[in-house]
Structure 1
Amino acid sequence: MRFTRILRAWQLYVLLLPSLVYIAVFKYWPMYGVQIAFRNYNPVDGFLGSPWVGLRHFIRFVNSFQFGQILANTLWIAVLGLLIAFPVPIILALLVNQLQSEKFKKFTQTVLYSPAFISTVVVVGIIFVLLSPRAGLVNNAIHLLGGQPIFFMGSPDWFRPVYVISDVWQNAGFSMVVYLAALAGIDPALHDAAKVDGASKFQRIRHIDLPGIMPVITVLFILALGNLLNVGFEKALLMQTSLNLPVSEIIQTYVYHQGLQQAQFSYSAAIGLFNSILNLALLLTFNSVARRANQASLW
């Protein structure tokens, strides 16, 4: 019976086939290499020929003197990014949605959305130029106001604020589009009825727009939590200097240094798998919490 239904709609399955092949080749097949984390991998012996060591690399990472610092650095940036970067697109979408002029509305969306197309390398280059202690625009403004120049990129205290603020500037507009699409699906009759009842714009935002996009907010928040520890590797690595390394060394950059620069393949694979397991645990936990609270969930 099921085979007959498949034959009847074979065109749809043909269209689906390239996506299934992509997922199988690039998502599931690489899982075969996860066993490196449990072996003392040697490229000459291969996956199966390398000796099995079990959880030795995981224990080594947890017991290392760098573990606490690296995990704390990753959590600091991730939590700050979640607390600051997650609400900003929602606020921007609610404000842009209230603009009356369609031309100005489209112009504002374009301006806010455009930074997402800038390469991370270019963004970090702009940061270094703007924050240069000698010729940077920010330090020139500080000097004109009577202050002393600040070496932002060499100060551990400034790494996290600069990272999070630049991340908000680059990605908030892209995330805003999702919420604008959700706002477009709200029935305009609700706003018309609220206007008749004398509701202000703030009251309509609070009682119509926010509840209308709350399922989208909940789902994206769960996904953000499931990706919490996957802090942007490229930007963190490019912003690293020898002076800010105590706060800029995160799990992703540590994996890069250990795996590619020092060729400790099994050790770095174990750290990456440890990070993925933590993300999966966060995703499952908060999805379960959302489902029990009768909110939108992933499943």
Structure 2
Amino acid sequence: MGEMKALVQGKKKNTVLHRMKKYRILYLLAIIPFAYLIVFRYWPIFLQFVLATKNYTIKGGIWGSEFIGLDNFAQLFHSREFKKILFNTVRISLLRLVCGFVPPIILSIMLFDMNSAVFRKISQSILYIPHFFSWVIVYAIAQVLFQNTGYINSFLNLLGIESKQFLMSERYFLPILIGSGVWKSLGWSTILYLAALTNINTELFEAARLDGAGPIQRIRYITLPGIVPIIVFSLMMNLGSILSAAGTEQILLFYNPTNYEVSDVIGTWLYRQGLGKMKYGLGAAVSVFESSVGLVLVLISNKLANKFAGLGIW
């Protein structure tokens, strides 16, 4: 029995060596992407874990700084601000998901049902433009609309209503933030759903028309069932990035000390503490926490996407 097992293992070993020798050129070519992953992906992640356990100083560097174990994590979790920024992060991410998830689906169906292909292409091109605007441009547009002398306040003044501090108020911060984010990403988000809609058999729509089905009925019984897997997959993936979807780059432009209570998220707090106050170890601990939670959520979301939609990253 032992000789048989050794013989099988020897054959497997010879097979692997034979394949490696046969495809040696492909293995040599694979060295470049593997080296890229190690140097630019995995090595920085490892350094981040090391830095999170250090009391970092510029003089000592990552390896020469004092090792303090989990003290940075303890400081993070015992911070009075941590609960607030975690709550704000989750709230803004969920608001982005709720407010920005359904509109692209509706818009995709509207574009797909257009009879004129030329008008559809023109509409898509116009809708895609905001995606290519930087957040600086988006903020400049928001300023023109919502600042004290902006168009919105000018219109309110014409109606006899006093000007409102839209950009300096906690009350209006979230609507402006979420609204501008949805506007920027709305057109681009339709690409995935339009691609799914093109895979639906057009004969189903023709048969439904012959049977007297109206537009709403065709959407309900043909269009939506045809893109349900993509909808579920997209939803699960968005849930997996709930801690990183708050939009730090946008918030850094829109927020100010007057609305920190509702606008301060993990990314902005990390920017102020890690870079502003040079607490690099604490900043690394925050990043490790965010990445760890994100990894768990992605794994769970991927499993749910595979289960309910038959689609997943792996």
CA spacing shift, 1:86–1:20, aligned 2, 3 Å? farther
Q: Is the 8 A contact 1:58 1:267 kept in 2?
A: yes
Pair 1:253-2:268 in alignment: yes
State the TM-score, normalizing by the size of structure 1: 0.91
After TM superposition, the structure 1 = structure 2 runs for residues 218-229 of structure 1, keeping only pairs within 5 Å, are 218-229=232-243
- Give the C-alpha shift of residue 15 in structure 1: 6.9
Greater CA drift, 13-22 or 59-68 = 13-22
Aligned partner letter, 1:82: L
Taking only the aligned residue pairs, the percentage that are identical comes to 37
Q: Give the Cα–Cα distance (whole angstroms) in 1 for the partners of residues 115 and 38 of structure 2.
A: 47
- Give the C-alpha shift of residue 67 in structure 1: 1.1
CA spacing shift, 1:99–1:18, aligned 2, 3 Å? farther
Greater CA drift, 168-177 or 9-18 = 9-18
Q: Give the Cα–Cα distance (whole angstroms) in 2 for the partners of residues 191 and 9 of structure 1.
A: 49
Pair 1:112-2:130 in alignment: no
1:6-26 CA distance string (max 9 Å, x none): 666677667766544443332
Select the residue among 270, 277, 283 that pairs with 1:268: 283
- Give the C-alpha shift of residue 48 in structure 1: 2.7
Secondary structure of the residue that 2:67 maps to in structure 1?
coil
**Corresponding residue for residue 75 of structure 1:** 90
Q: Give the Cα–Cα distance (whole angstroms) in 1 for the partners of residues 153 and 255 of structure 2.
A: 20
1:232-279 CA distance string (max 9 Å, x none): 111101112221122111100110111111100000110111112222
Q: Give the Cα–Cα distance (whole angstroms) in 2 for the partners of residues 189 and 4 of structure 1.
A: 51
State the TM-score, normalizing by the size of structure 2: 0.87
Pair 1:149-2:163 in alignment: yes
Q: Give the Cα–Cα distance (whole angstroms) in 1 for the partners of residues 253 and 180 of structure 2.
A: 13
Secondary structure of the residue that 1:29 maps to in structure 2?
helix
After TM superposition, the structure 1 = structure 2 runs for residues 90-105 of structure 1, keeping only pairs within 5 Å, are 90-105=105-120
Q: Is the 8 A contact 1:159 1:244 kept in 2?
A: yes
1:147-206 CA distance string (max 9 Å, x none): 221111100111111110000000111111111111111121222222222222222222
Pair 1:29-2:43 in alignment: yes
Secondary structure of the residue that 1:66 maps to in structure 2?
helix
Q: Is the 8 A contact 1:130 1:138 kept in 2?
A: yes
Q: Is the 8 A contact 1:219 1:298 kept in 2?
A: no
Q: Which is greater in Rg? A: 2
- Give the C-alpha shift of residue 117 in structure 1: 0.7
Select the residue among 210, 215, 231 that pairs with 2:229: 215
CA spacing shift, 1:115–1:254, aligned 2, 3 Å? same
Greater CA drift, 205-214 or 61-70 = 205-214
**Corresponding residue for residue 197 of structure 2:** 183
Task: Report how many aligned residue pairs link the two structures.
Answer: 298
Q: Give the Cα–Cα distance (whole angstroms) in 2 for the partners of residues 3 and 137 of structure 1.
A: 72
Select the residue among 199, 217, 226 that pairs with 1:203: 217
**Corresponding residue for residue 299 of structure 2:** 284
Structure 1 segments unaligned to the other structure (5+ residues): none
